[in-house]
Amino acid sequence: MKNYRFYFLPVFLILLTFSLSGCELVGDIFKAGMWTGLIGVVLVVLLVLFILRKVRR
């Protein structure tokens, strides 16, 4: 079970790197409006923190 945890985070980060193009995504979010972008960023950060807490247990 320990090996599974060791490989999960790097694979997850690589998947995020390929699936999200940072500049384009941020530009599209902020075209929709500042508050929409801010709420989107907060939700993504909370989702990442939630996933990390679940993985660590």
List, run by run, the mean pLDDT of 10-residue segments along the chain (57 residues): 64 70 68 79 91 86
Radius of gyration of the chain (CA): 14
pTM for the whole thing? 0.47
Number of domains in the chain: 1
> Which pLDDT does position 35 carry in this prediction?
81
21: phi > 0 → left, psi -120 to 50 → alpha, else beta; which?
Answer: beta
**Residue-range definition of the domain harbouring residue 9:** 2-56
Q: Which of 50, 46, 56 is nearest to 8 (CA)?
A: 56
Residue type at position 6: F
> Which pLDDT does position 49 carry in this prediction?
92
